[in-house]
Amino acid sequence: MPPTADTPRHSAELLAQVAALPGLPGVYRYYDESGNVLYVGKARHLKKRVSSYFARDHGGTRIGHMVGKIARLDTTVVRSEAEALILENNLIKQLAPKYNILFRDDKSYPYLKITGTGHARDSADGPPRPEAYARMQYYRGSTDKRHRYFGPYPGAWAVKETIHLLQKVFRLRTCEDTVFANRTRPCLLYQIKRCTGPCVRLISEADYAADVAHAEQFLRGETQDLLHKLEQRMMAHAEALEFEQAADIRNQIAALSRVLHQQAVEVGGDADVDILAVKVQGGRACVNLAMVRGGRHLGDRAYFPSHVEDAHAIAAERGDDELPTVEAQVLDAFIAQHYLNVPAPSQLIASEPVSASLLKALCDKEDCKITATHAPRGQRRVWLEMATQNAALQLARLLAEEGSQQARTRALAEALDLGVENLDDLRIECFDISHTAGEATQASCVVFQGHRMASGEYRRYKIEGITGGDDYAAMRQVLERRYGKIAEAL
């Protein structure tokens, strides 16, 4: 593939490496001369896909600019296209390439956690053991097999609302184990009927375990079976003339029935569903993700990817027929990156078609069948319309905010007479000195770039060898450390 007068000139070594690629599925990475990753892609046939970038002149297009910067190529051969997709998105999250659609790596999804595995038993002697009475709590972080986790939820409020609901219906404890172990009388939650008082044995271990099991059934969406079991328990207590216990279960059934009636009106009978809607406008995109867990609509969350225009141009030039629109490509990138670390539900409802290879990769990862539809009916159609409207509103808000930020940047550049032609390249660094009574002096640097604060560029410097409290000396030191090499190069 010799270069023409109009095509970028690549090294013979790079072109020979492209020519020697195998016709197997895999992942490829492009790097520039400085070693920065430009693009990560997957291929069913590595040689055909990679050769297509170098086989013709792309002119002044976005893909042409990218191909012109390629100085090095790395490839990884895998067994299937599904494996290639998973590896591709792991690398995209890890390397953050300039020309890929990127979503912020959000690992902060909260869960509802129910402690214990049910193996611990209370002892007849001494105070009740906390580990024998499961606790429900709000949780973020990695999961383990010692406890049960329900979620993920779109936000903290959704978890706390669910805990509040379970407290009213099943009255499970939420107190810390240390508080539980040192109680001598029931707390206020028992008085307002939000807890059954296991800390002072006001409920038997078996009955409490049954309430925990029923709460888990509710969280899994097994509501009809749960109601049937509660009715059986109520009748058993009534036949045994245990009318107080029967009345408690009756109240539990009534509270649960009110909740289920409200849900039936609002969300219908599906158990676990994710609804995804995409809107693209003005070079920006928004993906709105709404979650239904256990038949309950838990709310939604908006995501705003970067590099949308570059990634779409590259996909269009290479002829990605399975994802013909930018909306479909954004959705595909979101699903692939989002569900790498978050469990995927059995049903996806999307505003765009989901590629077959992506669905297969998700099924392989979760080891279960996952379906996707982009033309739902009935209640699902209502969910999708709501998610689409929210995506449009969130994107309009983002564009309005960015327009305001750009106007402020322009006004600042004019006031300071900076003479910057492209305000997207304007970078402002600000420094601040702090100390405690002259000791432990530190300097902080915050960066404003691209019309917004660049939180990833924040730096903190430990200041040493100065007189305590001398802010001028501290500022001199941090500026020399920050700009010394740049000044020498000039």
**Domain 273-304+314-398 part of CATH 3.30.420:** yes
In 115-172, the DSSP E strands lie at 136-139, 148-150
In 450-490, the DSSP E strands lie at 452-453, 459-462
Residue labelled with tokens 């990605």 = 320
Q: What is the pTM of this model?
A: 0.65
Q: Return the C-alpha torsion angle 306, 310, 311, 313, nearest 10.
A: 150
12-95 shares its CATH topology with 426-489: no
Beta pairing class for 284-293 and 439-449? unpaired
Protein fold of 12-95: GIY-YIG endonuclease (3.40.1440)
Q: Which of 106 and 191 is assigned the larger pLDDT?
A: 191
Q: Tell me how far apart the alpha carbons of residues 278 and 389 are, in angstroms, rounded to a whole number.
A: 10
**Local structure of 188: helix, strand or coil:** helix
- 174 Cβ neighbours under 8 A, 6+ residues apart: 135, 136, 137, 163, 167, 189, 195
339 contacts 95 by C-beta, under 8 angstroms:
no
pLDDT of residue 30: 93
Mean pLDDT, residues 175-182 taken together: 90
3 contacts 70 by C-beta, under 8 angstroms:
no
Neighbour count for residue 221 (Cβ, 10 Å): 18
- The number of CA neighbours under 13 Å toward the Cβ of 411 is 6
Mean pLDDT, residues 61-69 taken together: 81
CA atoms 186, 190, 194, 200: torsion sign: positive
Contacts from 262-266 at CB under 8 Å and sequence distance 24+? 263/295, 263/296, 263/297, 266/297
**Whole-number percent of the chain with pLDDT over 70:** 89
Q: Domain map of the chain by residue range?
A: 12-95, 111-266, 273-304+314-398, 426-489
Residue labelled with tokens 């990127």 = 102
pLDDT of residue 119: 67
pLDDT digits 0-9 by tens, 315-357 = 655 555 566 688 888 998 899 888 877 788 889 999 999 888 8
pLDDT digits 0-9 by tens, 9-46 = 678 888 888 898 999 999 999 999 988 999 998 888 89
For the domain 426-489, what is the CATH code?
A: 3.30.420.340
Mean pLDDT, residues 366-387 taken together: 86
Mean pLDDT, residues 93-121 taken together: 79
pLDDT of residue 264: 40
Q: Tell me how far apart the alpha carbons of residues 167 and 255 are, in angstroms, rounded to a whole number.
A: 11
pLDDT digits 0-9 by tens, 432-461 = 999 998 888 999 999 998 888 888 889 999
